[in-house]
Chains A and B, each alone.
Chain A
């Protein structure tokens, strides 16, 4: 039994490593070929997990071979657009200026119902509002609405906007996060001083995030009734 357990753990870690090396993280990122490869790898691994009569190498060698083939194809796709077109296909226009492209839909086996589903999932409920609907090579449909139906942006409305500031995790369960400090270019002492000025002990902070503008949002731990604070920390601006 321990053998079965250890074989399962080993192969699981091995498959995890291989899938990580292939560089794709989500099923939605996968081309049909990549998805097929992932399924084959899973199937090969499961055979050796369940059958102890089979040496682990019977799973490892085919998985490594598939990994190499996948890497080779990825390299070829990067180097040659014709290989990429052949293996991954090309994006297909399903709707052009509100008109369904019947010929393309038949060629891609994409039904009107499928298309309407995809449009609805993009919050588009009327075909006439669509300028372009493009079937991407990974099966997703990208939709560009006609200009009158596009939601106005802040720029269209002339609203002044601040910088798009990404927040970083700064404190977690009373511990300052080194990566957060580095990303925000702020030193530990500055944050501690800001906390002290507001009568907050670092050890009482359950979670804190800060953006590049120095806006620090924090929540105290349960012992301090999970109180929430919004502070401003002086940060050096990067140009």
Chain B
């Protein structure tokens, strides 16, 4: 009897935990990804106007963001993906610093692709199911 109750309680806890894991990490990822995408768009826009100071400021914020949020993201995303994302921010920042617009835009585009990829992993879609 005791074990049956324990198992029923465990099953309920498992359901709650799964519900938590379905909701919380994806919301957190959304928040971080939205913020990163805005910064990337702004940096790309600034680079297209040759505004290196603004682009550098955005890239620095991206690097800072990666340091703040990446440990949390690594709890539910593949570490290699998160490292690639953080690496793209760092490359973009370094490229803007030395004035290499082409490399910076390439790194930022790669970061956008990686953000799409991790969103695709975390968010449910019939395509990702297959």
Contacts and interface: CB of A to CB of B under 8 A. Distances in A.
B76 interface: yes
Report which residue of A54, A55, A58, A67 has the largest number of chain B beta carbons within 10 angstroms of its beta carbon: A55
Given A21-B7, A23-B7, A71-B11, A54 B78 contact: yes
A53 B18 contact: no
Given A21-B7, A23-B7, A68-B11, A54 B79 contact: yes
A45 to B, nearest CB: 16
B80 A61 contact: no
Interface residues of A, number: 15
4 interchain residue pairs of minimum CB distance: A53-B79, A57-B76, A64-B14, A53-B80
Contacts of B7: 21, 23, 71
Contacts of B21: 57, 61
B69 to A, nearest CB: 15
Interface residues of B, number: 17
Nearest to A63: B14
Q: Interface SS of chain B: helix, strand, loop or mixed?
A: helix
B120 to A, nearest CB: 15
Q: Interface SS of chain A: helix, strand, loop or mixed?
A: helix
A68 to B, nearest CB: 6
A60 to B, nearest CB: 8
B49 interface: no
Contacts of B25: 57
B102 to A, nearest CB: 30
A55 B76 contact: yes
B75 interface: yes
Contacts of A54: 78-79
Contact of B78 (A21, A23, A53): A53
